[in-house]
A and B are shown apart, each in its own frame.
Chain A
C-alpha cells in the first residue's frame, strides 16, 4: 500500500488491488489484497495459514486471534492493509522449525485443554499474548485475558490450568 507523505500529490485511484508487504511468523510476504480485505481472510486464503479461524467476524469469539507486535488482536477486525509494517505471529509461528510444540502448546495438550480444537489456536495466541506481558498471571488475570475467546467444549477450566502450568515452569 502507498504510504502517503505530505508533498506527494494524491495518487489517482487505479483499481482495487493493493500490494502490501506482510511479516508473518518472521517471514516476509508480498500479497495483493483488496483494500477492504480482513487480515484473517488474507492469512487464511492467501498465505494458507488456517490456524486462525473465522468463527463470528464480529470480535466476540476470539478464534481468529493473532499477535500483532506481540499484542493479541482479532484478525477479523483488522484490515490486512493495516498490518503492513507490523510483526504478525499466528499459531503456526509458535511451533519450532521441525514442528515441535512450544511449551505453552504442550501444556494445552497435557492439561486436557483441547477438545474439538476449533477455538484452540486463538486461545493459545491469547494466552501467549498474556504471558508475553505478564509472565506470572494469577487465575483472575488469566480468565480476564481469555474473556474474548469462546470455547464451547471445555468450560475453560483445563485451559486456565494449561496457562497456569506454563507460568509455573
Chain B
C-alpha cells in the first residue's frame, strides 16, 4: 500500500492513466475511512483532499459547476451556492456534524451512493450532470441516474473519478426550492426520509407551473415522484393543492415500499415532510385540520 498526493487535476489525470493497480481516491474520508477500517485499502491511496481544480465553484452561462472536492461546509456557506442552489446549501447543512461537514465532499456523497444521502435527492431534483474522469483519460458528462445506480453502486470503475457536478440554472425568475429531512434526531442523524422539491412558481398569479420532487431513503437510489408532480403541477397554490400533494406523497410511499415494515410509518411521516416542504416553498403554513389523513 502506498499513498500519494495529487497537487492538481493535471497530475491526477496523468497518474490515473499510468497506474494499473486498484486505486482509492481519498477526499474527505468520512465514508471511505470507515469502509476501509479493516485495512482493506487499495494498493494505491491517492489523497485528493488538497487537489487544486477539484474545489472550483463557478457559473458559466446557465450552468453552475461545482468541483467534487467542495466540502459540505463550503456548500452551506458559499454565496454563489446559497444564491443559485439554496436547496443544495440547505441539504449540506443537514449532513452530519460540523466536523463531518468540514471534511465530507460533494463527490464523496455521490460516490458512496448511500440511500439516505442528503445531497443526492437534491442533485437529482436539479437534473444535475456529473463529470466523470475515466481512467482511460476520457471525460464523460453523465446524467445523475447514469452515475448513481443503487445502494453503494455507481458507474465508477476502479480508478475513475468524479471531478465535478453541473447544475443547470433557471434563466427566468420564479424558481423556488425546498429540502426536508427526517431522522431520529434533529442534528447528526441519518435520514429516514428526505425530500427535495424544485418548482417554477408565479407569486403574482399564485400559480405553480412545473415542479420536480425527489425522495431519498425510500429506495436504493433517489426516487423521482412523478405521480406527485402531475397532481400538483400547473395549479393554483391553495389548501386543496396541499391536500392533494400530501395524499399523493403518501400514495407514492405505498407504491414504492409496499411490503416493507417501515411503510406504515413512512406513509404517514412523509405528510410531515410534505407540510414542511410546502411551508418552505410558499412561506405559508397550510391548514393542518384539512390533513388528508382519512384519505391515506
A residues at B contact (CB < 8 Å): 1-6, 9-11, 13-14, 16, 18, 34-36, 38, 57-60, 62, 65, 68, 71-74, 76-79, 81-82, 84-85, 126, 129-130, 144-145, 147-149
What string of 1s and 0s marks CB contacts (under 8 Å) between B179-198 and chain A?
00000000110000000000
Q: How far is the CA of A3 from the CA of B47 in the complex (A)?
A: 10
Take A10-B15, A38-B33, A85-B50 as given contacts and tell me if A3 and B5 are in contact as well, using a CB distance cutoff of 8 Å.
Answer: yes
Q: Which residue of B lies closest to A14 (CB)?
A: B2
A3 / chain B contacts, CB cutoff of 8 Å: 4-5, 7
Q: How far is the CA of A38 from the CA of B2 in the complex (A)?
A: 15
20 new A-B pairs (CB below 8 Å) besides A5-B7, A62-B97? A1-B3, A2-B5, A6-B14, A10-B18, A13-B2, A34-B1, A35-B2, A57-B37, A59-B97, A60-B188, A72-B102, A79-B33, A81-B45, A82-B47, A126-B98, A126-B99, A130-B98, A144-B187, A147-B188, A148-B100
Enumerate the 9 nearest inter-chain pairs by beta-carbon distance, A residue then B residue, closest first.
A148-B97, A35-B3, A147-B187, A13-B2, A71-B102, A6-B11, A74-B99, A147-B188, A6-B14
Measured CB to CB, the closest approach of chain A to B20, in angstroms, equals: 10
Q: How far is the CA of A36 from the CA of B45 in the complex (A)?
A: 8
We find that the number of chain B residues with CB closer than 8 angstroms to chain A is: 41
Take A4-B15, A36-B41 as given contacts and tell me if A84 and B5 are in contact as well, using a CB distance cutoff of 8 Å.
Answer: yes
User: Are A82 and B11 in contact, CB atoms less than 8 angstroms apart?
Assistant: no
User: Are B98 and A77 in contact, CB atoms less than 8 angstroms apart?
Assistant: no
Give the residue among A59, A72, A84 with the most B Cβ atoms within 10 A. Answer: A59
A60 / chain B contacts, CB cutoff of 8 Å: 188
User: Are B1 and A16 in contact, CB atoms less than 8 angstroms apart?
Assistant: yes
User: Are A82 and B14 in contact, CB atoms less than 8 angstroms apart?
Assistant: no
